[in-house]
Amino acid sequence: MTIGSHSQSFRMLVDAGSADMWVPGDGCQGENGGGCGPHPHLGPRSSSTFKDTRRAWYTSYGSGSASGTIVRDRVRFAGFSLEHTFGVARNESRSFIEKDIPLDGVLGCAKSNISMQGVPTLVESLQSAGMIEKNIISYKISRRSDGKNDGEITLGGMDPTKYDPSTLVRLRNVNRLGFWAASLDALKINGKHIKLGKEKECILDTGSTLISVPDEDAAIIHRSIPGSAFNSSLSSWTVPCRTKTIMTFYFGGRPFPVKPSDLAFLPVDNPKGACTSAIVGNGGGEGTWLLGDTVIKNIYLSTDQDRDELAMARLT
């Protein structure tokens, strides 16, 4: 994505779990002082079309926070070019500024009613400008270990070359707050049905990595994974790094399995031994799960704001 009169390039995290767009602004400061790392910054010095409204914004994530002022400038990406209102960060948490962070800003793709900036999302602006007919965002997230770099975001529709149409299901969005969520029909591990009690609302969040569930559910799930254990020193569950466990989510009556290697997150000390699990307990309420890219990179996901529904399919 490029922004401003000089088309400065920014790498954006496409986040279905938030609704704000922001990039670092001139004079941005890290939480411990100093600048905001080796990332491009936007301001009147780098763009003659930059307009600062002086209105403040602040947003927080599971991994940190950012704050600044709301601005307006020209945004260009994927053949689109439009004036858009978004945020520039004057302050960022450490999690956003370190040199090994492969992103410069965030592009929120949830509904604008959860925007902390109180402005339309970029996709809503594209639809209002007549550049796309439908407010649909579709995601094919690549797996780094595959080495294909074949991830893709499609705006205004779905890419039929990326999914198996015979597996496509359309699901009602069950979240009333502005996130994207579907009701879980069932969960199986290695073909065995897992009894979970209360119905689960699963929020699909491309801006998160892991599967985040209440502590009790995390324990139930791990008890069905061979070789799993709770590591008290890490306060987290571990699974064998070379686990063969297949975790299958059922939505709309269809199975969506997760590749076994995706359940093993990071080695504790030996890549052939135990790895921290990609399924984490969050201490939250019993009815809500958050499914990050551990799950989403195994499916084709599409969100339709006009119809307030999600679509899922198996990848080709």
Which residues are identified as catalytic? 15, 205
Residue from 226, 208, 225 nearest 217 by CA:
225
Distances from the Cα of 47 to the Cαs of 70, 221, 282, in angstroms? 15, 51, 42
Which residues make Cβ contacts (< 8 Å) with residue 71, sequence separation at least 6? 25, 42, 50, 51, 52, 53, 85, 86, 87, 88
Which residues make Cβ contacts (< 8 Å) with residue 45, sequence separation at least 6? 26
Contacts 24+ apart (CB under 8 A), 230-238: 231/268, 231/274, 231/276, 234/268, 234/276, 236/276, 236/277, 236/280, 236/281, 237/276, 237/277, 237/279, 237/280, 237/281, 238/268, 238/274, 238/275, 238/276, 238/277
Q: How far apart are CA 298 and CA 311, in angstroms?
A: 14
Per the listing, tokens 């689960």 go with: 200
Q: Name the H helices within 109-176.
A: 122-128
Per the listing, tokens 């969005």 go with: 173
